[in-house]
Chain A
Amino acid sequence: MSILLDFAQGVLALALAPGLVGLVRWFKARLQNRRGAAPWQPYFELIKLFGKDGVVSNNASWLFRAAPYVVFGSTLAVAFLIPTIFAPQALGGVGDLLAVVYLLLLGTFCLALAGLDPGTAFGGMGASREMTIAAIAEPTLALAIFGLALEAGSTNLGQIVAQTLGNPALAVTPGHLMAFAALFIVTLAETGRLPVDNPATHLELTMVHEAMILEYSGRYLALIEWAAGLKLLIFFALLSNLFVPWGLAVVLTPVSLLVGVAVFIVKLAFLAGVVALLETRVAKLRLFRVPELLSLSFVLALLSVISSFVLR
């Protein structure tokens, strides 16, 4: 029964993902003093893309056509493993936080290869930059996980959530706060948000994620865009539910589940607002300044772990 709920939770995350992307865009539009499209505009975009024909380069191989499915599948698999509405999950024993990180890396790996496949310079450039940023963000992710896992005594997400729910004072320890800040910076880097990457740019030389998907069209593009939205939702879910887990349903009654859904949407909306404000305020960093930003997040994560050691 709870396995079915796990799947339902993942499908709900999938359904909410385009809305989240639309919400961030709507906030940004309003902050630019214009009306902007409705928050549900990305749904129309996906429907349209699924209806369009596809055009494929004749240099591309089977990898180009398979990559969107792998990217989408691996991101969806992660959506089934993280706590969004309730915790702990029945599928919690299948994958822990490290597994989540590596599943996301699987998607990045395939997308980078797909960027190299058609043989364009833009694709190669996007792949190169994406892998650089992913590589430098890995230590921060690992250390942030380390910090959380030390407190909870486990790398399993359900345990981490339960630990914070059990000791509310944990949520404001310096370790947790610094880990949150580090993870927030990594979220911006991994999901391609300002100041690391501008999701709305048209200048190929400034692109990172977009450059890899310039050759995609039709249903392939729809899958990749959806997966990108889902990745954003996953990171927001991790940020909110690992550090501020109140609102997650712990008993599986209809009321608590509905409350869980409502609280989750509120958390997502809040984080969407924060990201929109940040994107309005800052400019994109030069590519070779991004490692400095990621080093800052690494230092924060390291300090958070050291503080757990020192304060144990």
Chain B
Amino acid sequence: MASIFKKIFKTGLVTEPLTAGDAETVELVHAISEQTRRLLGRSLAIREVDAGSCNGCEIEITALTGPVYDSERFGIHFVASPRHADLLLVTGPVTHNMQVALVKTYEATPDPKLVVAVGDCAKTCGVFRGSYAVAGSVDQFIPVDVFVTGCPPEPNDLLRGILAAVGRLPGKKQAAARGGQA
């Protein structure tokens, strides 16, 4: 009974500060409106949509809520229903079978909403390009605000992409001071 708590207190905080990172992995499609930045900047609810991915991106996304990458410190939390969500985190090339589901998820989300497309598949269909099962990239079906490239992108890149979508991407100067807000 006490052993788990002993282990917890021995381990201590393991969250890593977020660094500035490679500028090419995060691509902002258009400028973020001031209203969105003000509304969603401090508290963001994310609904993850797997539109046909190989789940490599999902494994990286799962790491986000763990102790090392800790997305919660930025006010980000994951929700089950798109009605509760502000941001859709879409992975995978959009397959024929998931096309309607993706659009319905987008419609079910209340405004103002954002979309971050994760991985090379979401941007260019990646290695599955031209397959009989693939209908197209994410931006062909729903408007995308940020692309995070990589196959799969690292959790830090994911965090940077999400923060960029709400206009809170830390610059190089702020990175050191802002390493892991609490």
A29 contacts B72, C-beta separation under 8 Å: yes
Question: Which of B38-46, B90-98, B125-133, B142-150 lies at the interface with chain A?
Answer: B38-46
Chain A residues closer than 8 Å to B72, beta-carbon distance: 29, 34-37
The answer to whether A55 touches B182, judged by C-beta atoms less than 8 angstroms apart, is: no
* Pair count A-B, CB < 8 A: 97
Q: B11 contacts which chain A residues (CB < 8 A)?
A: 33
Best-surrounded residue of B13, B43, B73, B111 (most CB of chain A within 10 A): B43
Asked whether A31 is an interface residue with its Cβ less than 8 Å from the other chain, the reply is: yes
A47 to B86, CA, bound (A): 13
Name the segment of B22-30, B76-84, B115-123, B153-161 touching the other chain.
B76-84
Report how far A281 CA is from B2 CA in the complex, Å: 9
Q: Please judge, given known A-B contacts A35-B182, A281-B1, whether A202 and B78 are in contact too, CB under 8 Å.
A: yes
In angstroms, Cα B43 to Cα A107, docked, is 27
A286 CA to B182 CA in the complex, in Å?
34
Q: Does B75 contact A (CB under 8 A)?
A: yes
Contact A55-B110, Cβ < 8 Å, known A33-B11, A34-B70, A281-B1: yes
A71 to B68, CA, bound (A): 38
Chain A CB within 10 Å, residue with most, of B40, B42, B66: B42
Q: Are A48 and B14 in contact (CB under 8 A)?
A: no
A256 within 8 A of B: no
Least CB distance from B55 to A in Å reads 16
A35 to B1, CA, bound (A): 24
Given contacts A33-B67, A217-B110, A281-B4, contact A52 B15 (CB under 8 A): no
Q: Which of A53-94 contact B (CB under 8 A)?
A: 53-55
**Secondary structure class of chain B's binding surface, majority of residues:** loop
Check if A202 sits within 8 Å of B80, measured CB to CB.
yes
Q: Does A214 make an interface contact (CB < 8 A)? A: yes
- Judge if B170 is at the interface, Cβ distance under 8 Å: no
Q: How far is the CA of A51 from the CA of B5 in the complex (A)?
A: 40
Contact A52–B86 (Cβ < 8 Å): yes
The reply to whether B43 and A35 form a contact with Cβ atoms under 8 Å apart is no
How many A residues face the partner with a CB closer than 8 A?
Answer: 35
Q: Which residues of B contact A280 (CB under 8 A)?
A: 4, 8
Assess whether B75 is in contact with A37, with CB atoms less than 8 Å apart: yes
Among A33, A37, A45, which residue has its beta carbon within 8 angstroms of that of B73? Answer: A37
Indicate if the CB atoms of B81 and A44 lie closer than 8 Å.
no
Chain A stretch 194-229: residues in CB contact (< 8 A) with chain B? 201-204, 207, 210, 214-218, 221
CB distance from A283 to the nearest CB of B (A): 12
Q: Provide the bound-state CA to CA distance between A195 and B180, in Å.
A: 31
Q: Mark B26-68, 1 if CB is under 8 A from A, else 0.
A: 0000000000000110110100000000000000000000111
Asked whether any CB of chain A lies closer than 8 Å to the CB of B100, the reply is: no
Task: Tell me the smallest distance from the CB of A220 to a CB of chain B, in Å.
Answer: 10
- Asked if A41 is at the interface (CB within 8 A of a chain B CB), the reply is yes
Choose among A35, A47, A48, A55 the residue with the greatest number of B CB atoms under 10 Å from its CB: A35
* A32 beta carbon closer than 8 Å to chain B: yes
Q: How far is the CA of A225 from the CA of B13 in the complex (A)?
A: 29
The smallest beta-carbon distance between A222 and chain B, in angstroms, is: 11
- CB < 8 Å neighbour of B108 from A48, A55, A202: A55
Near B by CB (< 8 A), chain A positions 8-63 give: 29-38, 41, 44-45, 47-48, 51-55
A35 and B86 within 8 A (CB): no
Cα–Cα distance between A280 and B6 once the two chains are bound (Å): 13
Q: With the chains together, A74 CA to B181 CA distance in Å?
A: 37
Contact yes or no, A48 B43, CB < 8 A: yes
Interface centre among B39, B72, B74 (most CB of A within 10 A): B72
Pairs across A and B, CB under 8 Å, 28 listed: A32-B8, A33-B11, A33-B12, A34-B13, A34-B15, A34-B66, A34-B72, A34-B73, A35-B13, A35-B70, A35-B73, A35-B182, A36-B70, A36-B73, A38-B182, A41-B75, A44-B43, A45-B75, A48-B40, A48-B86, A55-B83, A201-B80, A202-B79, A207-B80, A214-B80, A215-B81, A281-B4, A281-B5
* A positions within 8 Å CB-CB of B: 29-38, 41, 44-45, 47-48, 51-55, 201-204, 207, 210, 214-218, 221, 277, 280-281
- 10 closest residue pairs by CB, A with B: A34-B67, A44-B43, A44-B42, A217-B83, A34-B70, A214-B81, A202-B80, A45-B43, A53-B110, A35-B73
